[in-house]
Amino acid sequence: MDFAPLVERKAERFRELEAAIAAPDFYSNPKKATEMMREHTRVKELLEQWEAYRKAQIELKENEELAKAPDAELAEMAAAEIPHLEERIREAERQIQLNLLPPDENEERDAIIEIRAGTGGDEAALFAADLYRMYGRYAESHGLKIEQLETSASELGGLREVIFKVSGDGVFRQMRYESGVHRVQRVPATEAQGRIHTSTATVAVLPEAEEVDLELKADEIRIEVCRAGGPGGQGVNTTDSAVQVLHIPTGMIVRCQDGRSQQKNKEKALAILRSRLLEKRQSEEAEKYAANRKSQIGTGSRGEKIRTYNFPQNRVTDHRIEFTLYNLERFIEGDLDQMIGELQARDMEERVRNWEG
């Protein structure tokens, strides 16, 4: 495929962005300025890849000529370099093609992640806690920030539910593939017979919605304040800090009681509600053309069993791409990079095929 005309249009766009960023009133619209800065970064990266691609092509041509030289030693050295240059060109072509794809509007957003214990009773709640800790350690190792929004603990130290926000660079792009049903196979600590049990937990990864994305009208929400209950410490249990928000048009209810401040709990509840409504709206829009999609890797259906964690075999398998790693001990400690990288690569390959087709 001849990328030159497409890259030239991107180069023209880059010049437009450079001029816009230099304008005195560039930050008068903060949301638009942020979007343009992100586009500027993407286009700059594409143009750098294009230069590297052209340089590799020139080097390949030179080495092909040198491989025919009468000097045997020089010809041998040049010929040995050719496969490496061909691989560089193939990789550059793939990266250029990926960067020419229209970006997902959610990729650079922060994420709100909801984990809930599924089938399996106490063991499911313990597994939900393991997943929460796993994502926390992954976030920490990548310089991401976690803010706990709401929790509901079980009696044995597990979690019936936890909702938290992950902030940082390109969070949703990294975490989006975690949505779905996670299944664990292991011998619970409470199992006297040594039998392997199967339990599940569900994960939902939502792009964080901003106020400009969704306007919550006063007459469409009902906010109620009540006494916090359940685990959470004496400070929580003795104040009327719990907040419940009802979105009347959809019937969605969000309750937050983790913090001692009623105002903070209200802000957290509204943030969760906005993100759920944004996901609902985007899911409805996606369904309109879902029949034309060849891949569902990136959609993260909550009802889909996406991954199995088999402790006796030290194995973790992602069923969407049939990819298995035998490093479950490290994986559950937050070493998710290889799995996430494989999911991103497969999803991008499908997007390229859809784009070409």
In this structure, the strands spanning 180-186 and 305-310 are parallel
Q: What is the pTM of this model?
A: 0.68
Task: Check: CB of residue 326 under 8 Å from CB of residue 315.
Answer: yes
Predicted local distance difference test score (pLDDT) of residue 316: 98
pLDDT in tens, 128-181: 999 999 999 999 999 999 998 889 998 888 999 999 999 998 889 889 999 999
* 329 vs 276, higher pLDDT: 329
Indicate if the pLDDT at residue 250 is higher than 70: yes
Rounded Cα distance between 214 and 280, Å, is 12
List Cβ neighbours of 25 (8 Å cut-off, separation of 6 or more).
none
Most confident region among 115-129, 191-205, 230-244 by mean pLDDT: 115-129
pLDDT band at 322 (very low <50, low <70, confident <90, very high): very high
pLDDT in tens, 100-122: 877 777 777 889 999 999 999 89
Predicted local distance difference test score (pLDDT) of residue 297: 45
26-52 CB burial, b ≥16 within 10 A, e <16: eeeeeeeeeebeebbebbeebbebbeb
Predicted local distance difference test score (pLDDT) of residue 125: 94
Predicted local distance difference test score (pLDDT) of residue 34: 85
Helices (runs of H) and strands (runs of E) counted in the chain: 9, 11
Predicted local distance difference test score (pLDDT) of residue 48: 93
Pick from 113, 107, 167, 136: nearest CA to 302? 113
**Residue 260 gets which letter from DSSP?**
S
The pLDDT of 238-242, averaged and rounded, is: 66
DSSP result, 34-87: HHHHHHHHHHHHHHHHHHHHHHHHHHHHHHHHHTTSS-HHHHHHHHHHHHHHHH
Indicate if the pLDDT at residue 286 is higher than 70: no
pLDDT band at 280 (very low <50, low <70, confident <90, very high): confident
Rounded Cα distance between 266 and 254, Å, is 10
pLDDT band at 66 (very low <50, low <70, confident <90, very high): very high
Indicate if the pLDDT at residue 292 is higher than 70: no
316-353 CB burial, b ≥16 within 10 A, e <16: bbbebbeeebeebeebbebbbeebbeebbebbbebbee
Indicate if the pLDDT at residue 13 is higher than 90: yes
Rounded to the nearest integer, the mean pLDDT of the chain is 84
Q: How many CB atoms lie within 10 A of CB 239?
A: 15
What residue has token string 């990328």? 3
Predicted local distance difference test score (pLDDT) of residue 236: 44
Predicted local distance difference test score (pLDDT) of residue 294: 39
Predicted local distance difference test score (pLDDT) of residue 60: 95
pLDDT band at 217 (very low <50, low <70, confident <90, very high): confident
The share of the chain scoring above pLDDT 70, in percent, equals 86
**Residue 120 gets which letter from DSSP?**
S
Indicate if the pLDDT at residue 233 is higher than 80: no
